């Protein structure tokens, strides 16, 4: 085989190898999708933990106020949540909390007679609500960071981060509503000789 033929054969083999590598190389997700997916998982985990505290609080305060149907609903919504909760789970939990807030607020205006056990249960609810708000405060930086990352995500990657985008969208309003709910609950507790736990007091002094 002459030198020219050897060179041609070598170039052909190299070219074939490069084409094969290009064909089988695993493509990276657009817009830093892998990194953003991990950030979304962390954000959802934080959000679910806070929401579960809020739902637990709603259930206990519902019980204390004699709102048995609402209490059962809050527990069902809490059970549906997990660290891998779907977007629909998150939306359902938020909608349930909003509806429950309205029912509890109405009950404050015409509360039932509350015995010692009911008052103790309400205090437990206040503690859970305070913990939920403190978790909201703690995740503010994660929400801000994820929201900033979304601005550089390619359209192709957006469907993969819908849960994170939803949290970024509703976080400001939910935070404000949660603070108002806790403040109203503490005001009600003080007016009815119900113990206010430290977590509730601390949460009301926290800043977003």
Q: Is residue 172 part of a domain?
A: yes
Helices 116-138 & 140-150 angle (0-180, nearest 10):
40
Of 130-134, 156-160, 162-166, minimum mean pLDDT range: 156-160
Give the CA diameter of the chain.
104
Contacts of 177 (CB under 8 A, 6+ apart): 98, 101
> How many Å apart are CA 150 and CA 46, to the nearest integer?
18
Q: What is the pLDDT of residues 83-132, one digit of tens each?
A: 568 999 999 999 999 999 999 999 999 999 999 999 999 999 999 999 99
Give the pLDDT band (50/70/90) at residue 15.
very low
Q: What is the pLDDT of residues 60-84, one digit of tens each?
A: 999 999 999 999 999 999 988 875 6
Q: Is residue 57 part of a domain?
A: yes
Q: Is residue 103 part of a domain?
A: yes
User: Structure pTM?
Assistant: 0.80
Q: Is residue 144 part of a domain?
A: yes
Query: Domain of 194?
Result: 30-205
Give the pLDDT band (50/70/90) at residue 158.
confident
Q: Which residue has the higher pLDDT, 1 or 116?
A: 116
Q: Is residue 17 part of a domain?
A: no
Contacts of 128 (CB under 8 A, 6+ apart): 53, 54, 56, 57, 60
Percentage, residues of the chain above pLDDT 90: 70
Number of domains in the chain: 1
Q: Is residue 15 part of a domain?
A: no
Q: Is residue 95 part of a domain?
A: yes
């Amino acid at each position: 085989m002459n030198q020219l033929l050897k060179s041609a054969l070598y170039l052909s083999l190299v070219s074939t190898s490069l084409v094969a590598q290009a064909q089988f190389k695993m493509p990276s997700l657009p817009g830093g999708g892998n990194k953003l997916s991990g950030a979304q998982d962390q954000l959802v985990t934080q959000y679910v933990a806070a929401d579960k505290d809020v739902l637990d609080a709603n259930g206990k305060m519902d019980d204390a106020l004699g709102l048995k149907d609402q209490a059962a609903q809050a527990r069902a919504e809490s059970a549906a949540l997990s660290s891998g909760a779907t977007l629909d789970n998150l939306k359902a939990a938020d909608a349930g909390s909003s509806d429950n807030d309205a029912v509890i607020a109405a009950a404050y205006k015409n509360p039932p007679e509350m015995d010692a056990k009911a008052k103790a249960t309400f205090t437990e609810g206040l503690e859970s609500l305070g913990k939920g708000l403190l978790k909201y405060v703690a995740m503010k930086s994660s929400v801000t960071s994820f929201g900033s990352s979304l601005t550089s995500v390619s359209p192709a990657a957006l469907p993969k981060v819908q849960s994170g985008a939803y949290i970024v969208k509703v976080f400001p309003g939910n935070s404000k509503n949660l603070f108002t709910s806790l403040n109203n609950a503490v005001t009600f507790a003080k007016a009815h000789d119900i113990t206010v736990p430290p977590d509730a007091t601390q949460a009301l002094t926290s800043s977003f």
